[in-house]
C-alpha cells in the first residue's frame, strides 16, 4: 500500500510534458519535501547495499549469507509497514501522508546505514585476526543491526 501511495504521489513528476524536477515543486510543499526525502533515503539504501556486498564474501558460508539476506528482506517489509502507519497516522490531506511515510523511510535508512557501517568495520577487523570462530563475523551483524536473537 505504501509503495502504491508513494508511487502515485511521485509519479506525477515523471509524466512527459508535465514533468517537473524536484526543484520545480514549491519549496515547503509535500511533493518538494517528499522528493528530497526520497532521494536521501535512496542514497542511504544504495550505500547499505554496497557495504553488504563487502560483508557477504567475508561470512563463513552461504547459509549465513542467506540468513542475513532474509533478515534484510524482513527489515524492508518492516520499514514499509511501519512507515505506512506513520503516514496514515498524520491524518494529513493531499500528498502529506506519503511525504511523512518517505521521511520515516529516510530516517530508518539513515539509522540502518550507520549500523551497517559499524557492522562492516567489525567484520573487517575480525578478518585481520589470526583465528576467528565460525559465527563471530555474523555476530558483528547481530550486534550492530539490532537483530534480536532471544
pLDDT tens per residue, range 18-49? 334 555 777 878 888 889 999 999 999 999 99
Nearest to 5 by CA among 71, 92, 112: 92
pTM, entire model: 0.77
Q: What share of the chain is helix, strand, coil (3-state, %, to 5)?
A: 80, 0, 20
Reported as type and span, the H/E element at residue 91 is: none
C-alpha torsion sign, points 9, 109, 148, 73: positive
pLDDT tens per residue, range 104-139? 999 999 999 999 999 999 999 998 888 888 889 988
C-alpha 58/C-alpha 128 separation (Å) is: 11
Amino acid at each position: 500500500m505504501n509503495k502504491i501511495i508513494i508511487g502515485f504521489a511521485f509519479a506525477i513528476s515523471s509524466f512527459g510534458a508535465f514533468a517537473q524536477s524536484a526543484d520545480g515543486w514549491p519549496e515547503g510543499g509535500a511533493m518538494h519535501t517528499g522528493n528530497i526525502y526520497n532521494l536521501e533515503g535512496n542514497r542511504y539504501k544504495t550505500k547499505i547495499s554496497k557495504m553488504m556486498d563487502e560483508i557477504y564474501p567475508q561470512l563463513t558460508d552461504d547459509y549465513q549469507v542467506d540468513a542475513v539476506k532474509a533478515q534484510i528482506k524482513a527489515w524492508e517489509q518492516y520499514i514499509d509497514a511501519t512507515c505506512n502507519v506513520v503516514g496514515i497516522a498524520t491524518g494529513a490531506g493531499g500528498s502529506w501522508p506519503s511525504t511523512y511515510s518517505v521521511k520515516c523511510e529516510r530516517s530508518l535508512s539513515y539509522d540502518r546505514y550507520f549500523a551497517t557501517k559499524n557492522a562492516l568495520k567489525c567484520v573487517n577487523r575480525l578478518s585481520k585476526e589470526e583465528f576467528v570462530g565460525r559465527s563471530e563475523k555474523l555476530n558483528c551483524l547481530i550486534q550492530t543491526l539490532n537483530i534480536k536473537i532471544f
